[in-house]
Amino acid sequence: MQFRSSNLAAGVAFLALTLSIACLLPPPPGAVFVRVRPPAATVEVRGVAPGPEFVWIEGFHRWDGERYVWVAGRWERRPHTSAVWVPGRWRHHDRGWYWVEGHWK
């Protein structure tokens, strides 16, 4: 049991360190901060991909200056066969929430 609790403690410490570092990352230049936490993602039906070279790009909530608006997900063709989509995400900062755009990697 001692081995498990030391592993658990190490895992918790690692997670805390990772989260604190992520919170310290500077927002991108020109980031727009929103004081209201973004809502949970809307559950969407994907349907069938138009072909094997397509990837589902998840929908997301966009801030329109007054409220969050849902942008529907879509199928998008990979720019090359090994491309991987990195989803956009809302990040928290001491000034509020800001959006990090998704991109191909």
pLDDT digits over 13-29, tens only?
555 555 554 556 789 88
Q: Which residue has the tokens 């991909």?
A: 49
One-letter amino acid for residue 7 of the chain: N
pTM of the model: 0.71
In this structure, which amino acid lies at residue 10?
A
Render pLDDT for 39-93 as a digit per residue (tens, 0 to 9): 999 999 999 999 999 999 999 999 999 999 999 999 999 999 999 999 999 999 9
Q: Could you tell me whether strands 103-104 and 85-86 are parallel, antiparallel, or unpaired per DSSP bridges?
A: antiparallel
Token duo for residue 38: 């973004």
User: What are the sequence ranges of the domains in the chain?
Assistant: 32-104
